[in-house]
Amino acid sequence: MLEEIDDAVRAAATEFVEAVFAQGWRGREREAVSLFAIGYLIRQCRPGTVLHSPTQIAIEAAVPGVPQLNPKGRVNKDLVIWPQPAQTCWDEDWNVAHDPLAVLEWKVFRAKTGAPSLSKYDLNWLTRFSRGRPRFVGYAVWLDLARRGSRLVAARVHDGAVEASWLQV
């Protein structure tokens, strides 16, 4: 299951980066997340796979929080993949009750911003959230529109372990 998510994220990210840099695209974090999700990740939906419906993908969706970091018990994340179509974290009583399959947290760097790096906060949150959730995978992503080396790097987080250079495009 997690391998299918990894494959979908890797394929979408590779296609996304090639298009963004070939077209000279400009945008900030929210525009990049939207373009990635709607233009590329959605194309990875395949019947019979873990990512089988476009409605499993949500932008700026609420997910359960990490108690030490999210006192409200929930937090919004850039891009979320749910186990079921049209799913959210809420139960019938509006309690935070459902875990996502995956969370992608993004950072976009431009010529006028600092050098690209993985967000320590995002990695910490993904690491803490992933512990004890073997069916969850998280990705901390950075996109460098200034072309100072790799164009996109993604760290993969699973069960509390970080693979810092999981993807470099």
Asked if 6 and 156 count as a contact pair (C-beta separation under 8 A), the reply is yes
For the stretch 61-89, pLDDT in tens is 999 999 999 999 999 999 999 999 999 99
Positions of the chain with pLDDT lower than 70, given as ranges: none
Q: What is the pLDDT of residues 87-107, one digit of tens each?
A: 999 999 999 999 999 999 999
Task: Give the separation between CA 168 and CA 13, rounded to whole angstroms.
Answer: 10
The alpha-helical segments, DSSP class H, found in the chain are 2-23, 29-35, 120-130
| Domain ranges, ordered by start, for the chain | 2-168
Q: How far apart are CA 82 and CA 93, in angstroms?
A: 19
Q: Write down the mean pLDDT value for the chain.
A: 95
Q: What pLDDT, on the 0 to 100 scale, is given for residue 58?
A: 98
Q: What is the pLDDT of residue 157?
A: 98
Give me the pLDDT at residue 143, please: 96
CB 36 within 8 A of CB 13: yes
Q: pTM for the full model?
A: 0.95
The whole-angstrom separation of Cα 113 and Cα 143 is 12
In this structure, are residues 106 and 154 in contact, taking their beta carbons and an 8 Å threshold? no
